[in-house]
Amino acid sequence: MNVEIVMQELEALGNERMKKIYISNGAHEPLFGVATGAMKPLKKKIKINQPLAEELYATGNYDAMYFAGVIADPKAMTEADYDRWMDGAYFYMLSDFVVAVTLSESDIAQDVADKWISSGEDLRMSAGWSCYCWLLGNRPDVEFSENKISEMLDWVKNTIHDAPERTKISMNNFLYTVGLSYLPLHEKAVETAKELGIVEVKRDKKKSSFLNAYERIQKDVDKGRIGFKRKYVRC
């Protein structure tokens, strides 16, 4: 399958309702409005195809860029490749749910995510924190340095209220994910979330959102979900 055929298939799967939803979240033309679940049959046909993924990502079409992440070979991509993809990720659904997700299945995930977290750029920082959410929610606890994750919790506690808006959301998700999925620091995450309280996220032309990681973690404690790990990260 070549890029032209895949673009035709994606266009046929698009619908106006999904297109409006994506645009309301920050996507812009070109896009078709394909529901992520509708991509699964196409993924089964293509499987993993990095050259095709690169061509699709380069189109700038949101649906094609998303599908590129679905068929990419994360371990074949270099740090420069991930940086290039981040350069093209113009809003959070690309940075956090395409690039960060793909990165999380690579062997260089933590190294690249660390650099993004320290970059000072909102979407890169958001993608870095999001990558750790995908990692912690999927990989065994032994793959992480407890000291490092502990220091990251301190970083969240000390800086989240002054962070850029999208980064606030991803930092809050990181705090929640440590509390849910990383058992060695569950208690520290709970205490940190309790100390932080509510995090306000300001939005353009919309009302502020108010995040409460402590309440989210407590709901999972009540449901007996602590220690949860996803079997898969990508769809």
SS3 209: strand
What does the pLDDT look like over 158-202, one tens digit per residue?
999 999 999 999 999 999 999 999 999 999 999 999 999 999 999
Element (H, E) at 206: strand 206-211
pLDDT at 47 over 80: yes
Amino acid identity for residue 141 in this structure: D
Tell me if 131 sits within 8 A of 100, measured CB to CB.
Answer: yes
Tokens of residue 120, six digits:
């000072």
Q: d(Cα 16, Cα 34) in Å, to the nearest integer?
A: 9
Q: d(Cα 152, Cα 175) in Å, to the nearest integer?
A: 9
Domain boundaries, the chain: 1-72, 92-235
- pLDDT averaged over the chain? 97
pLDDT at 42 over 80: yes
The phi and psi torsions of 46 (rounded to 5 degrees) equal -90, -35
Cis upstream peptide for 30 (omega within 30°): yes
Note the Cα 222 to chain centre separation in Å. 26
The phi and psi torsions of 201 (rounded to 5 degrees) equal -115, 115
pLDDT at 222 over 70: yes
Tell me if 129 sits within 8 A of 92, measured CB to CB.
Answer: no
pLDDT at 98 over 90: yes
pLDDT at 76 over 70: yes
DSSP secondary structure, 99-160, as one string: IHHHHTTSTTHHHHHHHHHTS--HHHHHHHHHHHHHHHTTS-GGGS-HHHHHHHHHHHHHHG
